[in-house]
């Protein structure tokens, strides 16, 4: 017979059952009881970050790799600080469980002015209802277990964040005895699915030059193997979006490159836009994915399938699950065609270091990083040139590139590397971050030290907000120059480098490869007006929109 379990214990057990081994956050008085349960649990490890936003970004990255992440904070002063990271997780389909401690139900009687309260006791929940796919307050022991099941199911079903509010006087309250987690199975409408697959089969088989445009949902819904089986069955080549970069390993013989409209490689753009059948699988039609809407994708020539929509040409099919459609494609009689000439990523080649006093440029930095990355690294990129320059990096295996390529919140990369390395300890993060973004969350490197992690942080130091500077410049784009490499003295750990020349860059990377005890921080000092070709194209497009 199943032992009666408290609400807090049940929540911990269900997180662990869904693959969560680490919970990120900051303690506070309203959540201390649950923190004590977490710390005594043998199932889940607590990871205390420097700030709640850092915890939220770490949980987001963890979720992108493990399939579910969790952040735990106190009421309002902690909860509202993770509103931004939760918004990013919602926008980019990352299933993060936001667990917030809260005043006890008995404390709320007569509506007292308790500390951390904003307006009403449900103010925070109302905020998170706008940022999550499901939310609950565990206010009733009779329904608490069912509510936990419901909300976690929604996170996994829709791959979006959820909100669980845990009043502190109910953490140790027992739930319903002998409760068993509810299993919920959703299915597509069979007739609609058959009709959609029949139209897709006809369109694909008639196509002269079909192409697959794979995006982030292929990863979120664990359909990468399904995608590769489809590619092998049909010999249809694959491109990805910026947000979906590394959905497939970029050494795959059918891989074209990143498609981003006029902002990307022209040979990839011409091939995708010249296709008479574009299978857009798990795709987000965002402005950045579409190259600030420079993409030319005719709906008459597209099959567009994701978790929220299925359309083939101008026909829309409701009640069809993305997983069912993807798996259904494998069962079709699709013709196996000869693979013609397709675009290929440029050969990486050996990086030749120029004379000792040659200044580093962004273009040359990324060329050197292409040689530096190997089977044991993953890339975590912040926004700006850290992200756009990285689109040309060669990522060997799938799910080895993380970046906020839609919501684009600065400050993601350093804390995200914590979640990424704890989610997959086999890979060492190479963090790409600008100086402006680093000043927001870079102190989370101390969290890396505390938990024995060893990211290699490549800091693109161009003395300000580079992306904005190239659109419209002004003193508001400048930031104070820090002596970043001396942070090792503050933390009492790590290895810092000042990099101004190509020779210094090469030496620092080689030393970083050997130094595995803790983090390495490379302060790569760049000309403030230097930029990657990708960022130049993007800035030109954005500047044009600002002027119209």
Q: Tell me the CATH number at 265.
A: 3.40.50.1220
Query: Is residue 115 a part of any domain in this protein?
Result: yes
- Closest to 334 in 3D by CA, of 297, 279, 280: 279
User: For the residues of 434-445, what is the DSSP string, one character each?
Assistant: EHHHHHHHGGGH
3-state secondary structure of 278: strand
For 207, phi then psi, to 5°, come to -70, 140
Domain boundary among 310, 331, 352: 331
Domain boundary among 170, 198, 222: 170
CB 505 within 8 A of CB 522: yes
- Alpha helices (H) in 164-279, listed in sequence order: 190-206, 216-220, 224-234, 266-273
464 and 315 in a common domain: no
524 and 378 in a common domain: yes
Q: What pLDDT score does 1 carry?
A: 40
CB 188 within 8 A of CB 320: yes
In the block, tokens 């890396």 appear at 448
517 and 425 in a common domain: yes
CB 403 within 8 A of CB 390: yes
Contacts of 149 (CB under 8 A, 6+ apart): 14, 181, 182
Q: Tell me the CATH number at 395.
A: 3.40.50.970
22 and 77 in a common domain: yes
Q: What pLDDT score does 365 carry?
A: 93
pTM for the full model? 0.93
Tokens of 336: 């196996």
Tokens of 224: 């990468």
Query: Is residue 327 a part of any domain in this protein?
Result: yes
Maximum Cα–Cα distance across the chain: 74
Angle between helices 224-234 and 322-331 (to 10 degrees): 30
11 and 156 in a common domain: yes
Write out the residue range of the structural domain in which residue 408 sits.
Answer: 362-546
Query: Is residue 182 a part of any domain in this protein?
Result: no
413 and 500 in a common domain: yes
- Closest to 50 in 3D by CA, of 411, 368, 338, 359: 411
100 and 35 in a common domain: yes
In the block, tokens 């919501």 appear at 407
| Cα 463 to Cα 480: distance, rounded to the nearest angstrom | 7
CA angle 21, 103, 155 (to 5 degrees): 40
CB 234 within 8 A of CB 300: no
379 and 507 in a common domain: yes
For the chain, the first-to-last Cα distance in angstroms comes to 69
Tokens of 128: 């998170």
Query: Is residue 341 a part of any domain in this protein?
Result: no
For 295, phi then psi, to 5°, come to -70, 145
3-state class percentages of the chain: helix first, strand second, coil last, to nearest 5: 40, 15, 45
Tokens of 507: 């030496």
480 and 390 in a common domain: yes
- Closest to 304 in 3D by CA, of 373, 224, 213: 213
| DSSP single-letter state for residue 501 | B
Report the domain count for the chain: 3
Q: How far is CA 120 from CA 112, 163, 184, 499, in A?
A: 10, 17, 34, 52
| DSSP single-letter state for residue 390 | G
Cross-strand bridge partners of residue 11? none
pLDDT in single tens digits along all 548 residues of the chain: 457 689 999 999 999 999 999 999 999 999 999 999 999 999 999 999 999 999 999 999 999 999 999 999 999 999 999 999 999 999 999 999 999 999 998 888 888 888 888 898 899 999 999 999 999 999 999 999 999 999 999 999 999 999 999 999 999 999 988 888 877 778 899 999 999 999 999 999 999 999 999 998 999 999 999 999 999 999 999 999 888 888 888 888 889 988 887 677 888 889 999 999 999 999 887 777 676 666 778 889 999 999 989 999 999 999 999 999 999 999 999 999 888 888 887 766 666 777 778 999 998 999 899 889 988 999 999 998 888 888 878 887 776 899 998 888 999 999 999 999 999 999 999 999 999 999 999 999 999 999 999 999 999 999 877 777 767 778 887 888 899 999 999 999 999 999 999 999 999 999 999 999 999 999 999 988 888 877 776 666 666 665 55
100 and 147 in a common domain: yes
Domain boundary among 142, 170, 198: 170
Q: Which of 236-251 are b and which e, b meaning 16 or more Cβ less than 10 Å from the residue's Cβ?
A: bbbbbbbbbbbbbbbe
Query: Is residue 522 a part of any domain in this protein?
Result: yes
Query: Is residue 429 a part of any domain in this protein?
Result: yes
382 and 252 in a common domain: no
147 and 204 in a common domain: no
Q: What pLDDT score does 467 carry?
A: 72
Query: Is residue 337 a part of any domain in this protein?
Result: no
Q: How far is CA 330 from CA 138, 197, 228, 229, 309, in A?
A: 42, 10, 10, 7, 19
CB 496 within 8 A of CB 486: yes
| Cα 498 to Cα 86: distance, rounded to the nearest angstrom | 35
Query: Is residue 175 a part of any domain in this protein?
Result: no
| Cα 328 to Cα 322: distance, rounded to the nearest angstrom | 10
């Amino acid at each position: 017979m199943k032992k009666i379990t408290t609400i807090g214990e049940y929540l911990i057990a269900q997180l662990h059952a869904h693959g969560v081994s680490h919970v990120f956050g900051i303690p506070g008085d309203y959540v201390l009881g649950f923190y004590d349960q977490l710390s005594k649990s043998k199932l889940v490890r607590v990871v205390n970050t420097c700030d709640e936003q850092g915890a939220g970004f770490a949980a987001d990255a963890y979720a992108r790799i493990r399939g579910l992440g969790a952040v735990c904070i106190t009421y309002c002063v902690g909860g509202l600080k993770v509103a931004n990271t939760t918004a990013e997780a919602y926008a980019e389909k990352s299933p993060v469980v936001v667990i917030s401690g809260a005043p006890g139900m008995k404390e709320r009687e007569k509506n007292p002015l308790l500390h951390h309260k904003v307006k009403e006791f449900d103010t925070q929940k109302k905020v998170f209802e706008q940022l999550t796919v499901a939310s609950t307050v565990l206010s009733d022991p009779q329904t608490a277990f069912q509510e936990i099941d419901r909300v976690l199911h929604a996170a996994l079903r829709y791959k979006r964040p959820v909100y669980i509010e845990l009043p502190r006087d109910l953490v140790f309250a027992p739930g319903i005895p002998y409760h068993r987690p509810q299993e919920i199975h959703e299915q597509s409408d069979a007739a609609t699915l058959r009709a959609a697959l029949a139209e897709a089969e006809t369109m694909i088989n008639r196509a002269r030059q079909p192409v697959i445009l794979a995006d982030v949902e292929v990863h979120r819904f664990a359909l990468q193997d399904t995608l590769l089986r489809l590619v092998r069955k049909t010999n249809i080549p694959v491109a990805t979006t910026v947000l979906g970069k590394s959905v497939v390993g970029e050494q795959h013989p059918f891989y074209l490159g990143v498609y981003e409209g006029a902002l990307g490689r022209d040979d990839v753009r011409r091939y995708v836009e010249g296709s008479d059948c574009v299978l857009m699988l798990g795709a987000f039609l965002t402005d950045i994915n579409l190259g600030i809407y420079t993409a030319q994708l005719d709906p008459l020539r597209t099959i567009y399938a994701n978790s929220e929509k299925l359309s083939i040409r101008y026909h829309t099919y409701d009640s069809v699950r993305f997983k069912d459609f993807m798996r259904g494609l494998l069962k079709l009689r699709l013709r196996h065609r000869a693979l013609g000439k397709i675009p290929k990523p440029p050969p990486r080649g050996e990086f030749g270091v120029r004379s000792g006093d040659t200044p580093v440029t962004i273009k040359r930095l990324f060329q050197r990083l292409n040689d530096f990355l190997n089977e044991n690294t993953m890339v975590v990129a912040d926004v700006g040139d850290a992200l756009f320059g990285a689109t040309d990096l060669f990522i060997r295996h799938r799910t080895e590139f993380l970046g906020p390529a839609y919501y684009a919140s600065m400050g993601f990369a350093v804390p995200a590397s914590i979640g990424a390395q704890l989610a997959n300890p086999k890979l060492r993060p190479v963090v790409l971050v600008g100086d402006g973004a680093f000043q927001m969350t870079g102190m989370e490197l101390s969290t890396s030290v505390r938990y024995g992690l060893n990211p290699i942080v490549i800091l693109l130091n161009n003395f300000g907000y580079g992306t904005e500077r190239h659109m419209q410049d002004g003193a508001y784009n400048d930031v104070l120059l820090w002596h970043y490499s001396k942070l090792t003295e503050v933390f009492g750990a790590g290895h810092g480098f000042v990099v101004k020349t190509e020779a210094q860059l090469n030496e620092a990377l080689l030393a970083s490869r050997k130094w595995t005890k803790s983090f390495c921080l490379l302060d790569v000092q760049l000309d403030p007006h230097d930029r990657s070709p990708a960022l130049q194209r993007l800035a030109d497009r954005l500047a044009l929109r600002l002027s119209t």
